[in-house]
Amino acid sequence: MTQAPDSDLPQGAVLRSVERWRGGAGRQLDDAIAEEVPVAFVYNDAPFAVMMATPADLEDFARGFALSEGIVEHPDDVAIERIEHLLEGIEIRLRIPDARAEALAARRRSMSGRSGCGVCGSELLEAALRVPPPVAADVRIAVHALQRALRQLRDSQSINALTGATHAAGWAAADGSLLLVREDIGRHNALDKLIGALHGTGQALDAGFLVVTSRASYEMAMKAASAGIALMAAISAPTALAISLAQRANLTLIGFARDDGHAVYTHAQRLLPESAPSPSAAPRPGRSSTP
């Protein structure tokens, strides 16, 4: 059986021939495969990093990466000049303020090599382990809203539904309705794309929460807190370093988020029990600690 042509697939998926075996019998067919290409970020005509990524939502990716990696502090500080599809991959050329470009040049000189993640290649510990300012937003959500967002996230992964190879990051309103989803082969990339989309669409970061289809690593927690997101729920486990950062950054970190349960590691006051109402936001009583 042959599938639809590439044009009928979502961006980021392509068809490739495969010999598939089931029950001792084999057959040749076309299979949907997730794309993976080098994406180079060039700031003010100077190359900075090359990421292996799914070539979809590239403007969101470029904007979100610049924000989550601390290259710029505000969305208005980054302008996408052009996106070039080359034989070797994709090059995204961006323009940032001169002062930020000078800081980036100094950072580039301290890197031993280009990398697909934000902390690799950093020469100094303080550069690798950034701790963002404490999150000011204090959204409150009910458990049923978290479960609703997780269900909708599973149903909204068009690339993964065909390929089984991508992560997703989703943004949900306080009632659990999913507003935005971005996918990528890399969990960090999916989150960067979502952060870029949140800023591009003007979503209020104090009125929703984040759900991701991956483990909650340090870098995922750092990117979420840097964006001002108050609650992140991951379907898999957190790392010890992610928990430490979330505690310091006033980020509610939830792991093993499934239909039948979850584990809250930091700032549990934001997740309301089933019997409690689910306001869109609660008063800000200040930073509190998880028991």
277 within some domain: no
Q: Kindly tell me if the per-residue pLDDT of 114 is higher than 50.
A: no
What is the CATH number for 76?
3.10.20.10
Cα–Cα distance measured from residue 220 to residue 212, given in angstroms and rounded to the nearest whole number? 9
User: Domain check: are 222 and 265 in the same one?
Assistant: yes
> Which of the four pLDDT bands, split at 50, 70 and 90, describes residue 108?
confident
pLDDT at 274: 76
- Domains in the chain: how many in total? 2
| 3-class state of residue 102 by DSSP | helix
Tens digits of residue pLDDT in 73-82: 999 999 999 9
For residue 136, being part of any structural domain is answered with no
**Do 121 and 147 sit in the same domain of this protein?**
no
Q: Is residue 30 part of a domain?
A: no
Q: What is the pLDDT of residues 260-273, one digit of tens each?
A: 999 999 999 999 98
Q: What gap in Å lies between CA 170 and CA 107, rounded to an integer?
A: 31
Q: Examine the domain organization and report whether 91 and 169 are in the same domain.
A: no
Q: pLDDT at residue 124 above 90? A: no
139 compared with 131, residue with greater pLDDT: 139
pLDDT value of position 8: 85
How many whole angstroms separate alpha carbon 280 and alpha carbon 249? Answer: 21
Residue among 80, 117, 161, 263 flagged as catalytic: 117
CA nearest neighbour of 267 among 238, 241, 247:
247
- Read off the tokens for 248: 């310091």
| Residue 89 predicted with pLDDT over 90 | yes
Question: 177 and 198 share a domain?
Answer: yes
Short-list 197, 196, 210, CA closest to 139: 210
pLDDT at res. 262: 97
For residue 289, name the pLDDT band (cuts at 50, 70, 90): very low
What confidence score (pLDDT) does residue 130 get?
A: 78
Q: Say if residue 117 is in the same domain as residue 187.
A: no
In a domain, 196, yes or no: yes
Specify whether 120 is catalytic.
Answer: no
pLDDT at 2: 42
Amino acid 144: pLDDT: 96
Is 171 inside any structural domain? yes
Q: In terms of domains, do 63 and 156 share one?
A: no
Which pLDDT belongs to residue 277? 53
- The 3-state DSSP class for residue 218 equals helix
Residue 262 shares a structural domain with residue 162:
yes
Residue 18 domain-assigned (yes or no): no
* pLDDT for residue 34: 97
Residues 225 and 262 in one domain: yes
Residues 198, 75 share a domain: no
Q: Round the average pLDDT of the chain to a whole number and report it.
A: 88
Q: Which of 200, 232, 230 is nearest to 217 (CA)?
A: 232
Does residue 23 belong to any structural domain of this protein?
Answer: no
Query: Which CATH number does the domain housing residue 245 bear?
Result: 3.40.140.10
Tens digit of each residue's pLDDT (9 = 90 or more) over 171-224: 999 999 999 999 999 999 999 999 999 999 999 998 999 999 999 999 999 999
CB atoms within 10 A of CB 279: 13
Of the candidates 169, 190, 186, 159, the one whose C-alpha atom is nearest the C-alpha of residue 33 is: 159
| Domain ranges, residue 232 | 141-272
Task: Kindly state whether residue 4 falls inside one of the protein's structural domains.
Answer: no
239 shares its domain with 116: no
Does 180 lie in the same domain as 72? no
Query: Binning pLDDT at 50, 70 and 90, where does residue 115 land?
Result: very low
Please check the confidence at residue 245 and state whether its pLDDT lies above 90.
yes
pLDDT score of 252 more than 50 = yes
